[in-house]
Amino acid sequence: MMHCVEFDFREIDNLNDFYQKAILVFKLPKWFGQNLDALLDMLTAGIALPVEVIFSHINEYQLTEFA
């Protein structure tokens, strides 16, 4: 069965909020680096797969800020 996680951008105002949510939903270790390279490493080798990731309620500003 595929695990599903949601990032609700009504609750995410900045990159710190995003990484804190990632730590929570993916159960990332305390040493997680809170940057894009570290997240990619964890998503490709550090979490249980398969997983579906949903980005909900993301607005235009957030698309440019978090891209």
Token code pair at residue 52: 């579906």
Supply the DSSP symbol for 46.
Answer: T
pTM of the entire structure? Answer: 0.85
Question: pLDDT-derived band of residue 3, with 50, 70 and 90 as boundaries?
Answer: confident
pLDDT in tens, 48-67: 889 999 999 999 999 888 77
Question: pLDDT-derived band of residue 24, with 50, 70 and 90 as boundaries?
Answer: very high
Token code pair at residue 10: 């009504």
Q: Report the CATH number at residue 49.
A: 3.30.370.10
Give the type of residue at 22: A
Q: Which residue range forms the structural domain that includes residue 12?
A: 3-65
Token code pair at residue 23: 């730590």
CB atoms within 10 A of CB 46: 15
Q: Taking 80 as the threshold, does the pLDDT of residue 19 lie above it? A: yes
How many domains, in total, are found in the chain? 1
